[in-house]
Chains A and B, each alone.
Chain A
């Protein structure tokens, strides 16, 4: 099968840093995979995610389908949903939940066009899926950490991505929400969505996940495929 995303000897150095935060990463991700990345703090997990969607400039070659990240970054990002590790917004932020979820689609809708009824429907569905539809008129600055996390996931889904990059999506969630989110991700994956997720504690890896990548000091130290989760 032709990989959805391929990284060939990719390294990323933050501006002003002396050593690369990820070094010579080579990785192939097939469409439909559900991958979890684990590793200690500072291992380079976040850096890897932001390198894959081109938010961080890197060396090496990254291709998504037949597109090259260096030349087609903006088009590639329209196909990838991203949920950052922690998103802070101040209490005066002048946007409500509904707006923020819709923003996830703005890139896809494109310049000079307004959201259509179909766009609003998809946004509505994304909010329902994450059970944040009751918060739709709430200013995002007034959400709890866990609520905001769910809104950010709904926002990423609203763009109907082919692939989802999730950076510690469980971190702010209570036990019940964690297992609910794990189930939801499983459903999405069963429907064909490719998922690459960073997680801190291995105990919350969903059973649907079939591949675990371990990172340490900017390198992939193990990459294991499972038929059934151990």
Chain B
């Protein structure tokens, strides 16, 4: 039991870190709806994997990065009605995912199947924790190496480009990392709500500071907090862990908006 708990907690910490780090870029660049569609695509991919007895994680990555490659170029150009397209993709993915889940025979598999929807604290294995560790370290390293460029792009992609930064590789690098992150986070948080963990901690951090360095440090801290308390709540109250994390992170966001010094007059 205690080993399971250690795995769950370390998985939670790493999921919190990676989700909220990519989240700080996704939120600032108005890519939230794209991230939303990607996380549901990951869910559909994982469900298909379970139906076909293929690697769910691999298919989750293929699906979410597929959506990113399909819609990234559209989202790049502001003059297309991207939100409508994203809405369609989002509902398509969630229905595909549910159809796939229905095709899975009602055996012991079904709890695994449902866990990719709701998340589960029991699904963490040594391998999945290690994978998350590599991902988190990778994201931190990439942010650290290219912090300057990411900052300039987050201020204005057009002006960053105008000042001689080749912005496209960075844009797609982030979409790629987002795709991997949502796929890796499915096990713990579940496909329905992994998105909350990406957007809420980062959005909360943005309420408090005008310093991108601080925001980049604070948002994973909030993310970890959400995950740990989400796990505790789910453990104690026997709630799906995805919902607990989403509830905690929404509460934190609500509090952040109310308390935000940025929103005070004067």
Binding site for B on A (CB under 8 A): 14-16, 53, 55, 74-75, 77-80, 82, 84, 87, 89, 91-96, 99-100, 103-109, 111-112, 114-115, 139, 141, 155, 159
Chain A residues lying within 8 Å of B209, measured Cβ to Cβ, are 94
Contact A95 B262 (CB under 8 A): no
Contact A95 B212 (CB under 8 A): yes
Q: Which of A82, A92, A96 has the most CB of B within 10 A?
A: A92
Cα-based distance from A77 to B242 in the complex (angstroms): 46
Chain A residues lying within 8 Å of B3, measured Cβ to Cβ, are none
Contact A94 B161 (CB under 8 A): no
Contact A82 B159 (CB under 8 A): yes
CB-contacts of B201-226 with A (<8 A): 206-207, 209-212, 215
B70 sits at the interface (CB 8 A): no
Interface size class, chain B: 20 to 34
B149's nearest neighbour on chain A, judged by CB, is A106
Contact of B162 among A14, A16, A82, A93 (CB under 8 A): A82
Knowing A96-B210, A103-B152 are in contact, say whether A74-B166 is a contact too (CB < 8 A): yes
Cα-based distance from A112 to B146 in the complex (angstroms): 7
Cα-based distance from A91 to B261 in the complex (angstroms): 12
B156 sits at the interface (CB 8 A): yes
**What's the nearest-Cβ distance from chain A to residue B170, in Å?**
10
Contact B163 A92 (CB under 8 A): no
Binding site for A on B (CB under 8 A): 28, 77, 79, 145-146, 148-149, 151-152, 154-156, 158-166, 206-207, 209-212, 215, 262
Cα-based distance from A92 to B79 in the complex (angstroms): 24
Contact B206 A94 (CB under 8 A): yes
Contact B162 A94 (CB under 8 A): no
Knowing A87-B156, A93-B155, A96-B211 are in contact, say whether A114-B164 is a contact too (CB < 8 A): no
Contact A84 B159 (CB under 8 A): yes
Contact B158 A84 (CB under 8 A): yes
Cα-based distance from A93 to B210 in the complex (angstroms): 7
Contact A77 B212 (CB under 8 A): no
Cα-based distance from A108 to B163 in the complex (angstroms): 8
Chain A residues lying within 8 Å of B211, measured Cβ to Cβ, are 94, 96
Contact A92 B149 (CB under 8 A): no
Cα-based distance from A80 to B7 in the complex (angstroms): 53
Contact A95 B161 (CB under 8 A): no
A114's nearest neighbour on chain B, judged by CB, is B148
**What's the nearest-Cβ distance from chain B to residue A142, in Å?**
9
Cα-based distance from A106 to B157 in the complex (angstroms): 13
Contact A107 B151 (CB under 8 A): no
**What's the nearest-Cβ distance from chain A to residue B106, in Å?**
48
Contact A99 B164 (CB under 8 A): no
Contact A95 B210 (CB under 8 A): yes
Contact B163 A106 (CB under 8 A): yes
Cα-based distance from A186 to B101 in the complex (angstroms): 70
Chain B residues lying within 8 Å of A79, measured Cβ to Cβ, are 164
Contact B163 A107 (CB under 8 A): yes
Knowing A87-B156, A103-B159 are in contact, say whether A159-B210 is a contact too (CB < 8 A): no
Chain A residues lying within 8 Å of B206, measured Cβ to Cβ, are 92, 94
List the 9 closest A-B pairs by CB distance, nearest first.
A107-B164, A78-B164, A139-B210, A77-B164, A107-B163, A82-B162, A103-B152, A107-B165, A74-B166
Q: Which of B149, B159, B211, B212 has the most CB of A within 10 A?
A: B159
Chain B residues lying within 8 Å of A112, measured Cβ to Cβ, are 145
Contact A53 B162 (CB under 8 A): yes
Contact A111 B162 (CB under 8 A): no
Contact of A77 among B154, B155, B162 (CB under 8 A): B162
B161's nearest neighbour on chain A, judged by CB, is A55
**What's the nearest-Cβ distance from chain A to residue B201, in Å?**
15
Contact A108 B164 (CB under 8 A): yes
- With A94-B206, A155-B163 given, can you name 15 additional A-B contacts, CB distance below 8 Å? A55-B158, A55-B161, A74-B165, A75-B164, A79-B164, A93-B155, A93-B210, A94-B211, A94-B212, A99-B151, A100-B155, A103-B160, A105-B163, A111-B146, A139-B210
A78's nearest neighbour on chain B, judged by CB, is B164
Chain B residues lying within 8 Å of A87, measured Cβ to Cβ, are 156, 159
Knowing A112-B145, A114-B148 are in contact, say whether A103-B163 is a contact too (CB < 8 A): yes
Q: Which of A80, A92, A103, A141 has the most CB of B within 10 A?
A: A103
Contact A106 B162 (CB under 8 A): no
Cα-based distance from A78 to B163 in the complex (angstroms): 5
Could you show 26 A-B contacts with beta carbons less than 8 Å apart? A14-B79, A75-B164, A77-B163, A79-B164, A82-B159, A84-B158, A87-B156, A91-B262, A93-B210, A94-B206, A94-B211, A94-B215, A95-B151, A95-B155, A99-B212, A100-B155, A103-B152, A103-B159, A106-B151, A106-B152, A106-B160, A106-B165, A107-B160, A108-B163, A112-B145, A115-B148
